[in-house]
Amino acid sequence: MTRPGPAFWRRASQTGVALAMAGVPFANLFGLHGVSGNFLAMDVFGLPLGDPLAAVQVLASAGDITGRVALGAGLALALALVLGPVFCSYACPYGLLSELVHARSRRSGHLMGRLADTAVSAGFRVRAGAVLAGLILLAVFGLPPLLNLLSMPAYYSRLWQHVALGGVLWPVGGAVLMLAAEWRLGKRLWCGFACPQSVLLHLMARLNPWRLRLVHAPERCACAKGQSRCVAACSLGLDPRRPETLPLACNNCGDCRTACLRPGQALRFRLGRPDAQNAVLPGPEAGGLDKRPE
């Protein structure tokens, strides 16, 4: 019997979180309050969890936040500091839907498809610009947390809260339209260059040189010339063979590594600095891999 691979466990994690968040409001309705709230602010058996960007918005608008809000945001940032933005690839329900839609999308070569390529290539700058503009507005005018309106995970959990109470949340239509656009263009538009929640997670990961990161060993690549299984496997359109392009876009999902397992295992996850990682990465002979002709 074949053991489940990394892709299976990642999808199981995504699906489990999505189902759990859908079930929380119904459990609350029947008096079970061990877990309550949504992706912006949750309470898990007394442990506060929350979206770091939501906490920063409260700080920018009100000039102060409660200890529980700070703790909840801090836990999420601590996870990103070590493992990178794994929330995006292992927990975000919109990410799950976006990946499933992308896998069945219609690749388009028309003008909009080319424009999407251009936008995704500058995705982090677009996302960071939106966050900066939102925080400035909050600080200057004392507005409510505007960027929460751009949280697809929050819309997902709020949808089930409204369903449990007998209503329907209208902004879910925005998520449906975005998924339709991603299916039509064959690009993960929201996660690539629109999601503001991922900005702080990526920046926090950059602060830690010893974070989990993808390491590429060119000498181990066994793909034929012109092939790129790892690039084809990345739903965000990144090239894992170019590490300089990854830090502000890669979600550490591991799909490229999974695609590379049989051809040569040229991609590995490692904790530590890039130079140290490359120095200890074992060659094909260490792993008992078949050597292939060039």
What domain range includes position 90? 6-207
135 part of a folded domain: yes
- Quote the tokens at residue 131: 């966050």
Per-residue H/E/C for 123-148: HHHHHHHHHHHHHHHHHHHCCCCHHH
What is the number of domains present in the chain? 1
Give the whole-angstrom CA distance, residue 150 versus residue 141.
Answer: 19
Give the pTM.
Answer: 0.85
97 located within any domain? yes
Residue at 196 is within a domain? yes
Supply φ then ψ for residue 141, to 5 degrees: -105, -5
Burial group, residue 96, by CB count within 10 angstroms (0-12, 13-18, 19+): buried
- Whether 227 maps to a domain, the answer reads no
Residues 197 and 153 sit within 8 Å (Cβ to Cβ): yes
Structure token digits, residue 279: 């120095």
| DSSP element (H, E) containing 163 | helix 152-164
Residue of 289 and 21 predicted with greater confidence: 21
Q: Which stretch of 144-148, 159-163, 279-283 has the lowest confidence by average pLDDT?
A: 279-283
Which helix (H) or strand (E) segment holds residue 270: the answer is strand 267-271
Residue 247 lies inside a defined structural domain of this protein: no
pLDDT band of residue 139 (cuts 50, 70, 90) is very high
Examine residue 104 and state whether it is found in any structural domain, yes or no: yes
* pLDDT > 70? residue 68: yes
CB 259 within 8 A of CB 230: yes
Which tens digit of pLDDT belongs to each residue from 231-270? 889 999 888 888 777 778 899 999 999 999 877 789 999 9
For residue 104, give both structure tokens: 């069945």
Nearest to 232 by CA among 122, 115, 112, 107: 107
Range in 102-116, 169-183, 191-205 with the lowest mean pLDDT: 102-116
pLDDT value at 38 more than 50: yes
Q: What is the DSSP-derived secondary structure letter of residue 49?
A: E
Q: Are 107 and 183 in contact (CB under 8 A)?
A: no
pLDDT(117) > 50: no
Predicted local confidence at residue 228, as pLDDT: 86
In a domain, 236, yes or no: no
- Flag whether pLDDT at 170 surpasses 70: no
Residues 35-46: b if buried by 16+ CB within 10 A, e if exposed: bbbbbbbbbeee
Angle at 80 between CA 74 and CA 84, to 5 degrees: 175
The reply to whether 83 falls in a domain is yes
Confidence of residue 116 (pLDDT cuts 50, 70, 90): very low
